Amino acid sequence: GAVVSQHPSWVICKSGTSVKIECRSLDFQATTMFWYRQFPKQSLMLMATSNEGSKATYEQGVEKDKFLINHASLTLSTLTVTSAHPEDSSFYICSYSPTGRHNSPLHFGNGTRLTVT
Amino acid sequence: QKEVEQNSGPLSVPEGAIASLNCTYSDRGSQSFFWYRQYSGKSPELIMFIYSNGDKEDGRFTAQLNKASQYVSLLIRDSQPSDSATYLCAVDQGGKLIFGQGTELSVKP
């Protein structure tokens, strides 16, 4: 199956700083990646769809200037949380669908636990 | 009304028993249904998907779909302690997956 490598696994940062999360496809080329956020005891929420070589598509309520997504190559998508605040503390997960469609079986990265102090 | 609803649990079953996890959804037009397992602190992993009414079996897992009643369930036979996790139901809604909150399953030895 598709292997999605996500780094870092966890990160602690101070309020006001920025954090970059990387998601790499190791054995396939991903034109589309999906970024999720999961707060404790809550469901996965789709934040944005990352498209190689073009702008990301953000879900309603997600600030595109705060959560910067870059998908410059077929094997790397990055999410940068800018000017992080404690309320941004969450579990961030990228995923890939072999069909490129969201309503298909998804392969998830290992996730990044972000804690903002 | 939540779009995808699951009982948060915890659901506790003894080892060897059948665990039954249920999920209801609101969009009658939904065509694709998925079950993911998520261990504590880890990301979800796909267990099964089902598109047609009826049952779909894969090893100890059976997914059941009833579109008329708008529910999808997951049965785990011969439950093992290693099955203890949160099970997420995901339903296609307009081309996007909507995830339920998840049901926490605890299998007691």
Region B61-75 average pLDDT: 97
Chain A stretch 9-48, residues whose beta carbon is closer than 8 A to a beta carbon of chain B: 41-46
Chain B stretch 51-80, residues whose beta carbon is closer than 8 A to a beta carbon of chain A: none
At residue A17, the pLDDT reads 97
At residue B72, the pLDDT reads 97
B49, B102, B28: which is closest to A45 by C-alpha? B102
Q: Which two tokens stand for residue A117?
A: 């102090």
- Asked, as a colleague might, if the bond just before B109 is cis with ω within 30 of 0, I would say no
User: Strand order of the sheet with strand B4-6?
Assistant: B4-6, B19-25, B71-76, B61-66, B54-58
A33, A48, A104: which is closest to B92 by C-alpha? A104
At residue B52, the pLDDT reads 93
Q: Residues of A with CB below 8 A from B100's CB?
A: 43
Region A81-86 average pLDDT: 97
Give me the half-sphere count of Cα atoms (radius 13 Å) on the Cβ side of residue A41.
4
**Where residue B8 falls among pLDDT bands split at 50, 70, 90?**
confident
Residue A115 to chain B, least CA–CA distance (Å): 14
> Which member of A6, A102, A108 has the closest CB to residue B45?
A108
**Where residue B2 falls among pLDDT bands split at 50, 70, 90?**
low
Mean pLDDT of chain A: 92
> Which member of B31, B92, B100 has the closest CB to residue A43?
B100
d(CA A54, CA A31): 10
d(CA B36, CA B13): 19
**B97 with A106: Cβ contact below 8 A:** yes
pLDDT in tens, A18-70: 999 999 988 888 889 999 999 988 899 999 999 888 899 999 999 999 999 99
State yes or no: pLDDT of A1 exceeds 80. Answer: no
Q: Which two tokens stand for residue B79?
A: 């439950």
d(CA B105, CA B79): 10
The SS3 of residue A63 is: coil
d(CA A58, CA A12): 25
d(CA A69, CA A72): 10
